[in-house]
Each structure stands twice: as C-alpha cells, then as structure tokens.
Structure 1
C-alpha cells in the first residue's frame, strides 16, 4: 500500500513516535547518501571521471566499477578515485549529522547496506553500527585465502596523488600479504566477500539489540532503501513490525514507500527527500 496522509501530519506523527520510542533502529540504504550529496552520476561523475567517460562511454560510477580493465594499473586508477571521493572526501551536506542530532538521546542502532562509512565519520557510535555489505575503506584478498581485511586509506590517497594518464604506478598495485594474489575491495558482490571478525562482532551486536528490545516500543526507521537488496533491511523491518504490536515502521524515500497491508496501522511512509524530512523532524 502507499500512504496518502498529509505530509505534515506524517511528520508530526513520526516525531511523536520517535519521542515515545524505547529504541530506534535505523535501516539505511543508498538513498540516504544520495540525499547527502554522494551521487554517482551527472555532474559529480563528470567532474572526477570525464577521462574514463570519454574513453569507455561510462555513464555513471557503478558502470565503471564493473568494467574489465586490461591492466591493474588502470583498474586501480579508477577505483582509487571511486573510493577517495566516496569514502575519504568530507561530506558537503549535514544530513548524517542532522540525523544523529535527531536520535542521539535515544537507544539506537544502525544497520546499513551503504559502504561509504558516513555514519561513523559523522559521529555515530561505532559500536551501534552494522555495515552488512562491506566498506570502501577496506581491502581483502581476491581469492580470498583468509578472512581478514586491511585499511586502505594511505594507499588509496597515494594512488590518487601519483596516477597519471588513467594509471597508477605499478609498484602501488596491492597484493595479498599472505598468498601474493591481487587484493580487491571488501564489497559484497559474490561469494568471495570476506566477513571479518569486525563484521561478525557487529552482526552479533545488532542481533543482541533486537533481542533486548523485543516487544518494546521500537521505531524501525528506514531511510533510502531501494529494490536491489530489500531482503536485508526492508523485509526484515516489515516482519519485525508485524511480530511486535508495539513497533512502528517508518519509511522515507523518494520512490519506494510501500508497506504490507498487515502493518498498515503501524506504518508511516513519507514520499519526500530524506534531508527535508530530517530537518522538519528536528524543528517539529
């Protein structure tokens, strides 16, 4: 079903639910980072990848990320830019810090499919975060020969600084310190994704948080979840809302603002920009 309530009535209702909730569980997808300015096409893509666009006809960053480059030097020239601007460059918007200001006094937890690390960079407690799909800031063995990840900030910044003509110097190509095979990004794209110790610890914290707040007044606050991976957050939020009569499911999205009829009375779905909604909630 789609919500037809007046926008400001929805904001008021959501603010009231937020105020009385025992816990807030944020489920965040790409739409949240898009609202914060991390767009992957258009002007931002042209600014950083015009040379790749002219050579290969790429139309967005995602397309270039899957292209079979002929050399690792070119592959890492592309990916170092990709990672740098989406992981290490400061955000130009206050969406994440505004969200934190809104919920920081609540007992909260964040589960996200985003891999840009913006929650932790914006001051969210790292012990209340579960990045299910990886992190742009981590390398892993491409095999993988072991379940460990490696911080890549220094090498990514060096690749950015030293690349020329869409290539990095050969001596900057990262290789696994154990087996010598090429390193790759720690991003879930196939069954080779490494779930390291930190991933499992975060997953356990999330499970414990859910367990501790069973049947309490919980706000499942979904922000910018699309259709690529709905089973990770959207569907589980629906199920947990259905199983808990004290829970409320809230969804903010420009496009995907549906919910099952079974949780109609427990749902608040707002078809609007996330940044606008967060600001309106702060001033409600």
Structure 2
C-alpha cells in the first residue's frame, strides 16, 4: 500500500517539476513501438506481410525501396497516432499534477503527445526528435519543417501502401529526399534550441526545490534516467519520483530523497493526482 501523503507534500512544496518520460508512457497510451500486437496488425498488417516488418520501430528504421512507400508508412503512422490523437486520461492526470507550477519535459517519445496535450512546446525537449517535424535527409541545412499536415494529406490519398509521387516531400533547398526528424537516423538534426532551454530551466532552479518525476523509464536508460539521477544527486533540495511497471531502480546515493512506485501509470497517476488535490 502506497503512502501518498509524503509524496504529495513534496509535489505541493516543489518550486518546479522536471518530467522525464519514455516508452512506458507511450505504451500506457496504447502506442507500443516494439510489439507485433493486434494494434500493429490492424494498422500495418499489409506492410508486415509485404516487407517483413514486425513492429512500428522496424518500420521507422526500414530501408524502403521507394520514397512513395516510405511516406505511405509515415503518413499512416502519423495520422493514426498524432492526427487522430486526443488527450488520454493519463496525460490529463499529469497536467493536473503539474498544475500552475513551472515545468520542463524531457522525453525520448517522438509522437508529440505532450505538445498535442497542451504542454508548452518551449518547455519540451524531445531528445530523439519527433514525428511531427521533418528535415532534409542529407541534411543540407538544419531547418525543420512541420509534417503533420502533410501526413494527413498522404493518409487521405494513400492506396495499397503507396502515395502519389507528386506528394512525396522534397527538400526545399537541395531538392533531395526528406526524413522524419527522429533519432533512428544518424543524420538527425540536434534541437540545440531545446537543449539551451532545458539548461536554462536547470540553471533557474539550481538549489531550489525541484521535483523530478520519471515516467515509464527502464533501469538501463542512459539518455534520461541516468542523467536525471545524477542531477538529483547534485541538487540538495531535489526529490526523485520514478514510476514504472515491474522495474524500479534508484541509485544508492539518492535513495533517501527518492520514491519508487512499481505499477501502471494509468493507475498510479490518478492516485497521485488525488493525493495532490487534497
């Protein structure tokens, strides 16, 4: 039985909240990049049988024979998980927990759900890129372009796993192919501006009561979990709360200022929200 009172008190007392999120949050929302499940079969069964891809992640990293097929995949994926997305209860609970406090989000999830749920895009660092922007595949320059409207158009006209050649996006500078802005490609353009905003947030709340809330991140994660635990270790007034199903890891040097909650996000976040609202 979780004693929510001391955790809720830390949230109420916090000057700001730093949220770290990875695959566990996406899976809770119904998006599993790694699973050959019923949802994948419904959305991509034809691609699975034609190209042998066994999950969304394999499709994201596939070497497609033609751009028309690559963009048919991306159009379908982005339309379903971004264009048709509506804020889920778990994200509504998270927004309520943050309330009016200042916050920053660092996530390896690329589907853009934080922004689509109304979190301020200037307070989000998508560390491995996102699906709702695209870039030159080479890249010949470092500008990123919106892709959601294009994906909706491609989804409308796709037939048999192909989109019309004239709708395939081309780089406005060099005329070459475009890629979704994501970390699966080695040529992903770094979001330097988001990195700077994140560092400014950390500088602002250095020495203050910072709540670090980690959602659905496995113990081996070096992109978010390891740096956040180091941050907590170096911040005397920080508190660390990690929520994950079946796997809780907290470094020994921050045990005394941490709470590890083993369970489903869609069960524990509503309970945390309720405790914070008392």
Whether TM exceeds 0.5 here: the answer is yes
Residue 263 of structure 2 corresponds to 272
8 Å CA contact retained: 2:219, 2:249: no
8 Å CA contact retained: 2:87, 2:117: no
Does residue 76 of the first structure (1) align with residue 74 of the second (2)? no
1:279 and 1:164 map into 2 onto residues whose CA distance is: 41
Does residue 263 of the first structure (1) align with residue 258 of the second (2)? no
Residue 28 of structure 2 corresponds to 35
1:8 and 1:221 map into 2 onto residues whose CA distance is: 16
Aligned runs of 1:46-125 on 2, under 5 Å?
Answer: 46-91=41-86, 93-125=88-120
Residue 224 of structure 1 corresponds to 216
Q: 1:38 to 1:92 in 2, by over 3 A?
A: farther
Q: 1:227 to 1:171 in 2, by over 3 A?
A: farther
Question: Gaps (5+ residues) in structure 1?
Answer: 1-6
1:183 and 1:21 map into 2 onto residues whose CA distance is: 42
8 Å CA contact retained: 2:82, 2:148: no
Does residue 8 of the first structure (1) align with residue 31 of the second (2)? no
Q: Deviations over 1:218-252 (max 9, x none)?
A: 11111112367x22221111111111222111110
Q: Deviations over 1:161-214 (max 9, x none)?
A: 11111111111111111111111111022441113xxx3222212111111111
2:53 and 2:222 map into 1 onto residues whose CA distance is: 29
State the secondary structure of the residue aligned to 1:8. Answer: coil
Residue 3 of structure 1 corresponds to none
Residue 4 of structure 1 corresponds to none
- 2:159 aligns with one of 164, 167, 172: 164
> 1:263 Cα deviation (Å)?
1.0
Q: 1:192 to 1:140 in 2, by over 3 A?
A: same
Q: 1:166 to 1:191 in 2, by over 3 A?
A: closer
1:272 and 1:244 map into 2 onto residues whose CA distance is: 27
Q: Deviations over 1:78-113 (max 9, x none)?
A: 121122222222236221122001112222111111
Q: How many pairs does the alignment contain?
A: 273
Q: 1:191 to 1:69 in 2, by over 3 A?
A: closer
> 1:68 Cα deviation (Å)?
2.1
Residue 209 of structure 1 corresponds to 201
1:66 and 1:117 map into 2 onto residues whose CA distance is: 18
1:226 and 1:85 map into 2 onto residues whose CA distance is: 26
State the secondary structure of the residue aligned to 1:283. Answer: helix
